[in-house]
Structure 1
Amino acid sequence: MTRVREMLSLARVPSILVLGVVYVTYVLIGGVIFWKLEGDLGQKDIGRLLTSKKNLLTTYTCLNQDGLEAVAQVVQDVSKVGLSLKGNHTTDGFWKFTSSAVFAATVVTTIGYGNMSPSSTAGQIFCVFFALFGIPLNMVVLNRVGKYMLVMERNISDFLEGKTGRRKCTRFFVHLVSYLSGAVLFFIGPMIVFQLREGWTYSQAMYYCFITLSTIGFGDFVADSNPDKEYPDWYSVLMASWIFFGLAWLALLINHSIDILERLNTHFKQRCGGQRQEGETGGTERDNPDTQADEEEIKTPPIAQ
């Protein structure tokens, strides 16, 4: 057994290479699953749309291919500015103050739905510089808010530890309550609001909540953007607040998950590699980039409380 451990330590693969292989494999597996789940459905959608196009040209004989393309262009242009084609009423479009403020929030948070974007040259240039300084500022603020959330958790945990004297159980309970309350506040509550205000299903609303707070931002579902609905001003303010604090909470949750994975990684390294003497591995570990990275993480000062 000792001989096998020595051989494994000699043939040790850098962890960055292992992580790279795992990452690429994970992405490829995801691509295969999406291909199988959505590929056939996409082909059915294409066939259905071609049939609808044929029926449209058959029904409206005065509409030829050029006319259909012109109508499609009008529909596309109208949807880009947030106007409605239903009825005779008009709307204010996307670029109201409230929706513009939400758009600014999606820029600095890198969500970028894509349902609205600046079309003027001045607006595009301003967007570049606004994002250039706004994205780092947003990261700093979110990091600070996340630290305050973590400090609150630790203070509550320390208080309960002093009352109960059970450290592990208390920390587990505090983390569990934090996760559940965050899920209710940033997922379940908004999911119900979006289902009522937007008319989505619960699964669509939950999907939108995660796609938004993870900053993926596909743009297939976007709240406060339906031109056929009238939204109160408080709705945009509520959305912007939800995005900001939800991002901070999800970042805290991801940091907890990373911490758990790193602890598991350290545990398995100790089990597989065993305890090595400092004199045997001192020079090797200093030349190892993985060890250097670990030392840099250890030297990083803890979060100030």
Structure 2
Amino acid sequence: MRIKEICKYARVPSILLLGVVYLIYVLIGGIVFWKLEGDLGKKDIGLLLSAKKKLLSRYTCLNQEGLEAVAVVVQDASKVGLSLKGNKTSDGFWKFTSSAVFAATVVTTIGYGNISPRTTTGQIFCVFFAVFGIPLNMVVLNRVGKYMLVIERKISEFLEKKTKRKRCTRFLVHLVSYLSGAVLFFVVPMIVFQLHEGWTFSQAIYYCFITLSTIGFGDFVADSNPDKVYPEWYSVLMATWIFFGLAWLALAINHSIDILERLNTHSRLWWNGGQKQEEEPGSVEGDTPETQETQVEEEDVEVKKPPIT
């Protein structure tokens, strides 16, 4: 008996199948990262232990206790943005521009982790600032994303009237929109970060995606190297890039979610042999792909209207 017939006979819920696919996807990712990074991590540990032995043998006056004290100083200096190269002074992380960028990373939930409040009042303020700032950020990004969508669809409607080809025009407009956003929010910043931070192109593009997706590992952070002198406009440009890049990437992710939902609908029809699937909890009677398409079109008409100011 084929898998399709087995699933149809067992009446496997779609949410269960989706959960299984999600679990398998995560486990595959874990295996790949384990194989790619596991051996390298062991090599790094071996190199560090070897470097430690060489350091203790070279500087005989430095024992294990002294090495730990030096490590604490280096760690504390990295937390406040102090350079240990030479005797030059540094303003540290908590300049006005860096503080403003930190506030932006809080409300956008990026949270690099390279800088964080250390005072009790600063930590309490950060909690309340995030509680009200995160919803505000979501509302503003949603509104900016709708404006982007309105502009995109206005262009699409204009070209549809000229070409009389609806599907082809929409596809080309979406493609040009995605490519333009990729160039503006990934390629151009990648070049800027490569010039000002000294990263490779792969590290720069990696940092761009980790930032705009709000993952924020913190292994690469722009405008945070205490050994570099950044221009004043650099922080402003970075904050602007983060804001509009988040709005664009959120819009692209929403389009991807819509595509996955449509694929899920077609897959359910395929599992049922093209017949209408029985109603699931929370579903509406007569919710076929045709009615879903009509609902999407009605939502599109509503989105075309500019937001009320």
Q: TM-score, normalised by structure 2?
A: 0.90
Deviations 1:131-168 (A, max 9, x none): 11111111111111111111111110010000110111
The match for 1:291 among 265, 283, 302 is 283
Do 1:94 and 1:100's aligned partners in 2 also have CA atoms closer than 8 Å?
yes
The alpha carbon displacement at 1:10 in A equals: 4.9
The alpha carbon displacement at 1:6 in A equals: 8.3
- Quote the residue 2:174 is aligned against: 175
| Paired residue secondary structure (2:283) | helix
- Quote the residue 2:307 is aligned against: none
Q: What is the identity, as a one-letter code, of the residue corresponding to 1:94?
A: F
Deviations 1:197-220 (A, max 9, x none): 000000000000000001010000
Identity %: 76
Do 1:212 and 1:243's aligned partners in 2 also have CA atoms closer than 8 Å?
yes
Indicate how the Cα distance of structure 1 residues 257 and 294 shifts in structure 2: closer, same or farther if over 3 A, else same: farther
The alpha carbon displacement at 1:270 in A equals: 2.7
Deviations 1:269-297 (A, max 9, x none): 233324557xxx7xx52xx22625996x9
- Quote the residue 1:242 is aligned against: 241
In structure 1, C-alpha distance between the alignment counterparts of 2:42 and 2:285, rounded to whole Å: 47
- Quote the residue 2:54 is aligned against: 55
| Paired residue secondary structure (1:78) | helix
In structure 2, C-alpha distance between the alignment counterparts of 1:271 and 1:21, rounded to whole Å: 18
In structure 2, C-alpha distance between the alignment counterparts of 1:90 and 1:8, rounded to whole Å: 68
In structure 2, C-alpha distance between the alignment counterparts of 1:73 and 1:261, rounded to whole Å: 49
The alpha carbon displacement at 1:9 in A equals: 4.3
Q: Is 1:153 matched with 2:145?
A: no
| Paired residue secondary structure (2:100) | helix
Do 2:156 and 2:170's aligned partners in 1 also have CA atoms closer than 8 Å?
yes
- Quote the residue 1:231 is aligned against: 230
The alpha carbon displacement at 1:179 in A equals: 0.7
Q: Is 1:255 matched with 2:254?
A: yes
Q: What is the identity, as a one-letter code, of the residue corresponding to 1:243?
A: I
Structure 1's consecutive aligned runs of 4 or more residues displaced over 4 angstroms after TM superposition are 4-10, 274-277, 292-295, 297-301
Deviations 1:41-74 (A, max 9, x none): 0000000000110000011100000000000000
In structure 2, C-alpha distance between the alignment counterparts of 1:37 and 1:254, rounded to whole Å: 27
* Within-5 A mapping of 1:207-222: 207-222=206-221
Indicate how the Cα distance of structure 1 residues 180 and 66 shifts in structure 2: closer, same or farther if over 3 A, else same: same
In structure 2, C-alpha distance between the alignment counterparts of 1:5 and 1:74, rounded to whole Å: 62
- Is there any run of 5+ residues in structure 2 with no aligned partner, and where? 305-309
Do 1:14 and 1:290's aligned partners in 2 also have CA atoms closer than 8 Å?
no
RMSD: 2.3
Indicate how the Cα distance of structure 1 residues 113 and 7 shifts in structure 2: closer, same or farther if over 3 A, else same: closer
- Is there any run of 5+ residues in structure 1 with no aligned partner, and where? none
The alpha carbon displacement at 1:252 in A equals: 0.8
- Quote the residue 2:195 is aligned against: 196
Do 2:110 and 2:211's aligned partners in 1 also have CA atoms closer than 8 Å?
yes
